[in-house]
């Protein structure tokens, strides 16, 4: 079977690596791809915003399954158009992708179905937003309603900061994403990510992970797309996972099915584990990056078979996906400047030596220049390893990181610290 994979991050490199192991795979195409994905796929130039062009490519090249990695094409309705043309698609349609595309869509759905989440108010004009601030204690959380590439969240510690946040949003600081805002109560606890696979009816757990969102060691500095992750997150005990499935995931999937727009694909729940139990912070309509890398390292089944069953609505006839008991851990190497404008063109050496250490180096923002690999984005590599414990996986991952010569880049040195502390080790 021929497959088209859309995306260019280390998430898509990990998906390509796993799909390439399937005996069912014919040809794997990827767009826009990157030099790492090119090790497993033929890179093709298709613009996923051009739905007609994407359909034409798939028809000409006998593609049967399209795997949509990032959120933008999902929210843009690429899935709907491909499905209409009879293709199998891994990733939800436009309306259910609103779980990621619109914070107020998700909050309203949670309110209607008693799904635990932070108390909120929404406002689409400045005056109403300012009035709504009165109902929240400090700190409070102010979010751009629409897609803002993970950047549209401001935690305001003072009234002035809250007003300043509204100023930024209503002045277009996050583009049209901030034309309406959601104001939320601030939740305390530890964050964890939980994944569920669903064809709209059957829902199965698909692993847990913990991301490291801040740029600096000890969780300091500005937020990023994620500087590292590990899986599983043992803080999500089986009992807590059961609660997440029963109180958050299943009611969401049922609500969407009941309104005639079933969700098909992977659903990623960002959770706050509060004293009262798990509370939903946000949904994503796709795999996380870098969480996907660690999930793929642990997945023991055929990813293509799983994705196809999901796309065809046949998840119910599949055995539950199996994951290794090993811990997987990934360290993101970013270009200097990230999460601000990154330095591009920094030369990267030592990738072959790193691979000998037993880790896998997934590419994100890389390019080829003059026979070398150079940086071409903010997050550049995701160095990923497996081990019998978080400590063991961390050791292998950092041995590989240390073999990589990337003078124009940096990484955190403490990925996995919470898990290692929990298991009694030193960070």
Can you give the binding site for ligand GLY, defined by CB under 6 A?
150, 211, 225-226, 284, 288-289, 291
**Nearest by Cα to 230 from 12, 391, 18:** 391
Q: Which is nearer to ligand AMP, 80 or 282 (CB)?
A: 282
Stretch that binds ligand AMP, among 15-23, 180-188, 232-240, 374-382 (CB under 6 A): 180-188
Q: How far is the CB of 226 from ligand GLY (least distance, A)?
A: 3
Does residue 184 interact with ligand AMP by CB under 6 A?
Answer: yes
Token pair for 102? 């619109």
**Count of beta carbons in the 10 Å neighbourhood of residue 345:** 11
Q: How far is the CB of 126 from ligand GLY (least distance, A)?
A: 28
The strand pairing partners of 120, in sequence order, are 184
Token pair for 1? 């079977």
Does residue 335 interact with ligand AMP by CB under 6 A?
Answer: no
**Contact partner at residue 288 from ligand AMP, ligand GLY, none, CB < 5 to 8 Å by partner kind:** ligand GLY
Query: Rounded to a whole number, what is the largest CA-CA distance in the chain?
Result: 59
Burial class (CB in 10 A: 0-12, 13-18, 19+), 340: exposed
Q: How far is the CB of 424 from ligand GLY (least distance, A)?
A: 27
Q: Which is nearer to ligand GLY, 36 or 288 (CB)?
A: 288
**Nearest by Cα to 83 from 311, 268, 351, 408:** 311
- Cβ neighbors of 370 (< 8 A, separation 6 or more) are none
**Contact partner at residue 226 from ligand AMP, ligand GLY, none, CB < 5 to 8 Å by partner kind:** ligand GLY
**In sequence order, what DSSP letters do the residues of 86-129 get, joined into one string?**
T-EEES--TTTTHHHH-HHHHHHHHHHTT--B--EEEESSHHHH
**Contact partner at residue 289 from ligand GLY, ligand AMP, none, CB < 5 to 8 Å by partner kind:** ligand GLY
Does residue 213 interact with ligand AMP by CB under 6 A?
Answer: yes
Q: How far is the CB of 36 from ligand GLY (least distance, A)?
A: 18
What are the backbone dihedrals phi and psi of residue 277, each rounded to the nearest 5 degrees, phi first?
Answer: 120, -175
Stretch that binds ligand AMP, among 185-193, 240-248, 312-320, 350-358 (CB under 6 A): 185-193
What span, in angstroms and rounded, lies between the C-alpha atoms of 346 and 365? 11
**Contact partner at residue 153 from ligand GLY, ligand AMP, none, CB < 5 to 8 Å by partner kind:** ligand AMP
Q: How far is the CB of 372 from ligand AMP (least distance, A)?
A: 35
What span, in angstroms and rounded, lies between the C-alpha atoms of 113 and 249? 11
What span, in angstroms and rounded, lies between the C-alpha atoms of 232 and 64? 32
What span, in angstroms and rounded, lies between the C-alpha atoms of 291 and 127? 39
Q: Which is nearer to ligand AMP, 151 or 427 (CB)?
A: 151
**Nearest by Cα to 290 from 198, 411, 391:** 411
Q: Which is nearer to ligand GLY, 226 or 265 (CB)?
A: 226
**Count of beta carbons in the 10 Å neighbourhood of residue 49:** 11
Stretch that binds ligand AMP, among 182-190, 243-251, 289-297, 308-316 (CB under 6 A): 182-190
**Contact partner at residue 243 from ligand AMP, ligand GLY, none, CB < 5 to 8 Å by partner kind:** none
Does residue 229 interact with ligand AMP by CB under 6 A?
Answer: no
**Contact partner at residue 10 from ligand AMP, ligand GLY, none, CB < 5 to 8 Å by partner kind:** none
Q: What is the rounded radius of gyration, in angstroms, for the C-alpha atoms of the chain?
A: 21
Stretch that binds ligand AMP, among 6-14, 186-194, 294-302, 405-413 (CB under 6 A): 186-194
What span, in angstroms and rounded, lies between the C-alpha atoms of 105 and 101? 8
8-state DSSP, 274: E
| Interacting residues with ligand AMP between 246 and 305 (CB under 6 A) | 270, 281-282
Q: Which is nearer to ligand GLY, 57 or 338 (CB)?
A: 338
Q: Which is nearer to ligand GLY, 286 or 386 (CB)?
A: 286
How far is CA 140 from its chain centroid? 24
**In sequence order, what DSSP letters do the residues of 298-341 get, joined into one string?**
HB-S-HHHHHHHHHTT-GGGSPPP-B-SSEEEEEEEEETTTTSS
**Contact partner at residue 280 from ligand AMP, ligand GLY, none, CB < 5 to 8 Å by partner kind:** none
Contact present, 183 and 123 (Cβ < 8 Å)? yes
**Contact partner at residue 186 from ligand GLY, ligand AMP, none, CB < 5 to 8 Å by partner kind:** ligand AMP
| Interacting residues with ligand AMP between 88 and 147 (CB under 6 A) | 118, 141
Q: Which residues bind ligand AMP (CB under 6 A)?
A: 118, 141, 150, 153, 184, 186-187, 191, 213, 270, 281-282
């Amino acid at each position: 079977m021929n497959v088209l994979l859309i995306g260019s991050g280390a998430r898509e490199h990990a998906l390509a690596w796993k799909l390439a192991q399937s005996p069912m795979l014919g040809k794997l195409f990827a767009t826009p791809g990157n030099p790492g994905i090119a090790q497993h796929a033929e890179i093709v130039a298709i613009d996923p915003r051009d739905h007609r062009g994407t359909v034409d490519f798939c028809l000409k090249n006998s593609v049967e399954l399209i795997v949509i990695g990032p959120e933008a094409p999902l929210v843009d309705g690429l899935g709907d158009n491909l499905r209409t043309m009879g293709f199998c698609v891994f990733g939800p349609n436009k309306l259910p992708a609103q779980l990621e595309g619109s914070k107020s869509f998700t909050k309203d759905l949670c309110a209607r179905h008693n799904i635990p989440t932070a108390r909120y108010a929404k406002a689409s004009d400045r005056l109403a937003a300012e009035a709504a601030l009165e109902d929240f204690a400090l700190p409070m959380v102010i979010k751009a309603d629409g897609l803002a590439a993970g950047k549209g969240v401001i935690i305001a510690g003072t009234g002035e900061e809250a007003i300043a946040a509204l100023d930024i949003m209503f002045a277009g600081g996050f583009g049209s994403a901030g034309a309406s805002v959601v104001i939320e109560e601030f939740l305390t606890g530890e964050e964890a990510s939980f994944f569920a696979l669903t064809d709209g009816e059957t829902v199965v757990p698909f692993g847990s992970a913990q991301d490291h969102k801040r740029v600096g060691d000890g969780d300091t500095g500005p937020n990023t797309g994620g500087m590292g992750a590990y899986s599983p997150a043992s803080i999500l005990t089986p009992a807590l996972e059961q609660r997440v499935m029963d109180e958050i995931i299943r009611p969401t999937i049922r609500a969407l099915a009941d309104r005639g727009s079933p969700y098909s694909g992977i659903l990623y729940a960002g959770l706050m584990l509060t004293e009262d139990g798990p509370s939903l912070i946000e949904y994503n309509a796709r795999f996380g990056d870098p969480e996907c890398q660690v999930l793929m390292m642990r997945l023991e089944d055929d990813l293509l078979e799983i994705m196809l069953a999901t796309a065809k609505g046949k998840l119910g006839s599949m055995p539950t996906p199996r994951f290794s008991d090993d811990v997987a851990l990934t360290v993101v190497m970013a270009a200097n400047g990230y999460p601000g404008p990154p330095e591009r063109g920094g030369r990267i050496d030592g990738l072959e030596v790193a691979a000998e250490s037993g880790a896998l180096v997934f590419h994100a923002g890389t390019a080829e220049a003059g026979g070398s690999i150079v940086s071409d984005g903010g997050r550049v590599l995701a160095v990923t390893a497996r081990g019998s414990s978080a400590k063991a996986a961390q050791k292998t991952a950092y041995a590989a990181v240390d073999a990589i010569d990337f003078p124009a880049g940096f990484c955190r040195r403490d990925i996995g610290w919470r898990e290692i502390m929990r298991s009694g080790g030193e960070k």
